[in-house]
Structure 1
Amino acid sequence: MGKNFDKYFNFDIGKISKEVNSLIDQGKLKKAQRFLQQIEKSYSVNKRHLNINKAPFQHLLRYSLDGIFDPDSSGGTVVNYFLKTIHGLKEKVSNKINIQRSLDIGEMNYLELVLIANILKKKQKKLEKFFYRKYKKAKKEYYDADEFFGGCLKLLDVFDQILQQKVNDRERELYLMIDWSNYGCLTYDNLGEGPKHTDPEKEKIFNSFKDQLESNNKSNFSVHLPSITLGKYTGELWEEDITFIRSEIEKARQKIDSEELLTTMNGEHIPKLKIDQIALIFVYEEYQITRKNAAEIVNRYGHESGEKLFQRFTFYSSAANRKGKPHPFTLKKLNNKIQLLESVITLLPVDKQERAKDEVTILRKISEAEFS
């Protein structure tokens, strides 16, 4: 073994964990991976001659639990804990490597976009407009909406994965602590003034672990930016930041989609349609019309009443209003409704036509049943 490796020959799990976490924080993931491989190899060769029971575990007990481990009181469970910990560290390094690969999404620096957005969020700026402007700029570089907004959201998915991994790591630690508590490998005298190993004190720490398990979720953790960006960026992102930025990206995407729906592929305006047709197109395309954007949309189609468009969109947003019997229920009214739905089918993308076709079929069956 190399000189730097000798200090870990006693398989001090506290030192091993500290070394691996230090390498991770420095972004030296491959080195951490090689280090753990050496530990496993050395353990396999020397395990018959080692007394792992005396390896200090106190360093692992973060979260205000320092000093309550008593590793000498356990038999084979210490070896079991050692192996579980090494496995957990290997998994942690592997996940970090996968995250680094995930951050390399392409030419566009989505990471910088999201981090700037987080700064603007703290300054209470409107992020929807920020992402809208950034897309318009990216479009000049031949990015389409799917690629641009998809790249932003994919990055946020990576951040969510980081938080979930922290939840999983903490859950694993707590279950191990509970196991050690059940084996009687913990001392409880420093948690209260009662006698050592009393049932009330044992129950106290056991309940503490259970309470932490119940409250273990992503909101307790943050994405540490220096770690995942190898020191390029500072600060941290919390779950509420990620959720808010995601919602603002989706709002910007919806606005872009609404605009692009109004024009054909060659940039010309769509032929003038009736307000009911416009409302149905937006319903089937799953885009929102609000009182705020209705006037702009209706003007592009050559109409004036944004309020009327909003009311018809609200009406047709109900499936019952689209495929139910008209009022009053007459053959002429029903045929007009069928013709209205049929008139928008060819104006929809192919993947959005099926629902409209199904609803026309339902109306035709009503016609056959009632008027044949």
Structure 2
Amino acid sequence: MKLLVLSGRVPRTPFKLMYRVYKYVLPEVRRELHRLRSLAESIPDPELRTQALASMASKQFHCEGGAVYAAANIEQRHILIPLIVALQTISDYLDNLCDRSTSLDPDDFRLLHQSMLDAVNPDAPLRDYYAHREERLDEGYLHELVRTCQGCVSRLPGYRHARPFVTELVTLYSDLQVYKHIRKDLREPRLLAWWNEHRSSYAHLQWNEFAAATGSTLGMFMLFLAAADENLSEGEARFIRDAYFPHVCSLHILLDYLIDQEEDRIGGDLNFCNYYNDQVTLIERIGEIVQHAREDVRRLPAWRFHRMIIEGLLALYLSDPKVRQQADVRRISKRLMRNSPLTRLFFWGNSVWIRKQQT
């Protein structure tokens, strides 16, 4: 493969990557979030406004972490950063709406997440995404997020070859969000039935690990980065999708669920880390997925960049303050961080520093 965005322009060392993150990515992500926060503050419906603002307040690091992909092509960051921030904000906003929903209607959840599918299809018409729920007045907030994504993907010169695989990943993401938020007695049976439709392709995974993979936006963001190259081919886009899904994506969301265990217990939310027999098994399975993820990205051009993404994921999540507040998670974190490479420790220190600047 000779993708420009995956070769000469990509930062090859943690220092170069973080230089770009501090100089370009973080300031521009925060400017974009400030714009979206101003729009969210004007939402008339109090529940929609609360969840929109809460998603940005508590999950800002999702946008900051996702936008690291823009550091691999600084020249196209004016497209990549607004795109990544807008799609991630849709994801976080809808997750909040579904987690704390006044509804348990799968049609409601499906229509809400149609906004993500429309966002990655520049030709899709806008719809009334709130049609199946009482809270509907958002002053055009969700439509603005969708339009931002559509405008950005239409400017990516290689997007026509990436689009089928982005759509596939968004479809899987939407399926997950529907099944994990319906009535509690239906969640596991529906998730297991869904897993049975896919298990032949991912037989080495457990059902919860596949489900976790579908909940990640990283594969989408990597395909956006690749689509910034006008020479991207369909075969290369498929190769990138396969390098990220399922292992990099599964690792991402298992770590997210790991640190949210207490929060999900209190909220009555499904958590994929609770489906292992014991902590030892959980640690072993995450360790195996880390190894698979490293092997997968090793096949990509500029593979060191993707290896930094993996080490950065571990550092970002295991340094989260939520870890210290949960004794079991703290023990697991120590085990996973044992014998860490210097790159992971470097990203750990930077993750702690960035969080301190937000307080």
TM-score by length of 2: 0.24
TM-score by length of 1: 0.23
Q: Which has the higher helix share?
A: 2
Which protein shows a greater Rg?
A: 1
Structure with greater contact order relative to length (CA < 8 Å, sep ≥ 6): 2
